[in-house]
């Protein structure tokens, strides 16, 4: 998402990430990735549990979608970072709006099943136009 941070800000939103590691892991991750947006630490997985996010398993690693995601990431110059305490925790992408509204929700079904950044940007643009 860091490649789209400028567009997200232009749409009037704030990008933030929640990670499972500790403060040291977050610091290393920030240095390695160069992200500048807020990186929150949730070592107890409170946010993940509240959002009812799923966990993957060893078999997910061998799924076709993961092989494709790894190939895209490698072609884009991305690399795997150190594994945290919960390497099987699946992620999600949310756009939360005023009035406790979910404007966009994508729950990862497997590793690498991240939300399409263009879908996120469209959701932000639609939100901005309807405000």
Percent of the chain with pLDDT over 90: 30
| Helix and strand totals (H; E) in the chain | 5, 4
Q: What is the pLDDT of residues 63-93, one digit of tens each?
A: 777 777 667 767 776 666 655 667 788 889 9
Domain boundaries, the chain: 2-130
At residue 18, does pLDDT exceed 80? yes
DSSP, collapsed to helix, strand or coil, labels residue 110 as coil
Instruction: Specify the range with the lowest mean pLDDT, choosing from 19-23, 44-48, 58-62.
Output: 58-62
User: What confidence score (pLDDT) does residue 129 get?
Assistant: 54
Confidence class of residue 107 from pLDDT cuts 50, 70 and 90? very high
Pick the CATH number of 2-130 from 3.30.750, 1.10.287, 3.40.30, 3.30.70: 3.40.30
């Amino acid at each position: 998402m860091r490649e789209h941070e400028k567009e997200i800000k232009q749409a009037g939103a704030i990008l933030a990430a929640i990670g499972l590691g500790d403060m040291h892991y977050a610091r290393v991750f920030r240095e390695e990735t160069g992200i500048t947006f807020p990186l929150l630490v949730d070592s107890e997985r409170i946010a993940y549990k509240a959002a009812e996010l799923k966990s993957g398993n060893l078999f997910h690693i061998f799924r076709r979608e993961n092989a494709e995601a790894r190939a895209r990431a490698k072609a884009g110059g991305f690399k795997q970072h150190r594994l945290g305490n919960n390497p099987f925790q699946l992620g999600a992408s949310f756009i939360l709006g005023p009035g406790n509204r979910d404007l966009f929700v994508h729950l990862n079904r497997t590793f690498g099943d991240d939300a399409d950044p263009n879908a996120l940007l469209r959701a932000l643009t639609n939100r901005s136009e309807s405000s």
